[in-house]
Amino acid sequence: MTAQRRIVTGLFISLDGVVEAPETWHFPYMNDEMGAAVGRMHAEADTLLLGRKTYESFAAVWPQQSGELADAINGIRKLVASTTLTDTEWNNSAVIEGDVVAALKELKQQPGGNINLTGSIGLTRTLLEAGLVDELRLLVHPIVLGTGLRLFPEGSPRVPLKLTGSVTFSTGVLDLTYQPA
């Protein structure tokens, strides 16, 4: 019997829980330690899951990039959860049609590597609430932003988690790994 595929979601997050627009605050903390952590996460996956907004921002940047991480992201199978996007131009990309939760439950039963969910805050919330996230990777940055979309806004449903790993980078970023409790 083969092991069930896992959905692993990874987010850059501020101390006050903001996950929105990390491209405006994350880069001063990027170093080899973080690059290696992100690289390991991508190495364990054969599918990248994205919401429409994250897909569009990635598709506008990654095809023009080079290097090991760019090659991995450009080459991996990409699935987009969207009710408005009908066509994908970035190689190895397809839109999930219909109920995304049902589609991902089915996909998890098929053989393969991890399904990595990057960014895509709304989709992350949906999958957490549906109990489909097997691992939540938070790269907590030592910065308070004060405003912005938070991963768990006021009124979010309770999601019990257990800490299964933690590493502190030299920049002060915490690499925290959680699984459902």
pLDDT in tens, 29-50: 999 999 899 888 888 899 999 9
Give the residue extent of every domain in the chain.
Answer: 7-180
pLDDT in tens, 113-128: 999 999 889 999 999 9
Distance, in Å, from the CA atom of 73 to the CA atom of 48, rounded to the nearest integer, reads 8
> Does domain 7-180 bear CATH number 3.40.430.10?
yes
Residues 126-141 as b or e (16 or more Cβ within 10 Å = b): bbbeeebbbbbbbbbb
Q: How confident is the model at residue 5, as a pLDDT?
A: 92
- Encoded tokens for 71: 């090659």
Whole-Å CA distances, 84 to 102, 107, 125, 130: 18, 21, 19, 22
